Amino acid sequence: MYAWQSLLILLAGLALVFGVCVAPQKFFRLAGRFLTNAAVGLLLLFLINVCSGWTDLLLPVNALTMAVSGIMGAPGVVALAVISAV
């Protein structure tokens, strides 16, 4: 592992601890919204991939697609599908 990766992980961990300590209610509300969007996005990605036998559309489940679905929710997955179809 490179030094910049370790530093990035350390900074992300410190940001999480800082967020929990400073504003726990807002932090957990945002985390809950992100996890809910990610779960809905994962379900939509799964449904798109199950239906890919009828179409040529295939969206892999990886860190990028989960980040987009976690941040943007269902509209993000639809945008990924449209971009992938073009």
Residue pLDDT, tens place only, 46-58? 888 888 777 788 8
3-state helix, strand, coil in the chain (%, to 5): 85, 0, 15
Residue 77 counted as domain residue:
yes
Q: Which domain holds residue 30?
A: 24-85
State whether residue 56 is helix, strand or coil.
coil
- Taking 80 as the threshold, does the pLDDT of residue 1 lie above it? no
CA–CA dist 86, 70 (Å, integer): 23
Pick from 46, 17, 74: which is nearest to 9 by CA? 17
What's the confidence (pLDDT) of residue 72? Answer: 87
- Domain count within the chain: 1
Quote the pTM value: 0.69
18/85 Cα distance (integer angstroms): 41
In a domain, 52, yes or no: yes
What integer is the mean pLDDT of 21-37? 88
